[in-house]
Amino acid sequence: MSTIGDLERRAGIGASPAERTAFWGQFHHLEGEACLNAGVAELRRLIAQREARPDPSPKPPDVRRSREALPPLTLEQEAALQAYAARHGRRWRSILNNAWMGGPPHDDGGLLRGLRNSHGPTWLQSYRLPKPVKR
């Protein structure tokens, strides 16, 4: 059985308090044992990723390919994002991301949860609302 420190070192988390805080901060919304279990699961995932054998024919990462693979937004999804942005102001992305991670406010409806599942939080950070039509 490994200690948390051993797992952090094997996962590549730095030993400084700032680096450890940065890692564990992503689980701060969980309480007690749930926080610890989620952190340990992520450490084990990082260790498995680091210790996995490299692909014999590695291909360079293609950012465009992964972005093109995402399905386009429907008109309803765009409308839900615009309404959420109007409701929460200029910090709407960080507020929605927090809601997607289980924090308050819990006002992201089914369409927005579906976007979380299909597109993910990383997509949200790069998404830009369409410009309003000038008349």
> Interior CA angle at 77 toward 74 and 81, to 5°?
140
Token pair 């950012």 in the structure block, residue: 63
Distance CA 70, CA 98 (A): 22
CB 105 within 8 A of CB 84: no
Query: What residue ranges do the domains of the chain occupy?
Result: 4-52, 75-126
Counting residues of the chain whose pLDDT is more than 90, the rounded percentage is 8
Tokens coding 109: 């409806």
Judge whether residue 77 has pLDDT over 80. Answer: yes
Task: Find out whether 36 and 44 touch, Cβ atoms under 8 Å.
Answer: no
Q: Tell which residue, 99, 73, 69, 75, has the closest CA to residue 87.
A: 99
Residue with tokens 């000038």: 134
For residue 1, is pLDDT > 70?
Answer: no
- Model pTM score: 0.49
In this predicted model, what pLDDT tens digit does every residue of 11-66 receive, in sequence order? 888 888 888 888 888 888 888 888 888 888 999 888 888 888 666 666 666 555 55
In the predicted model, what is the mean pLDDT of the chain?
83
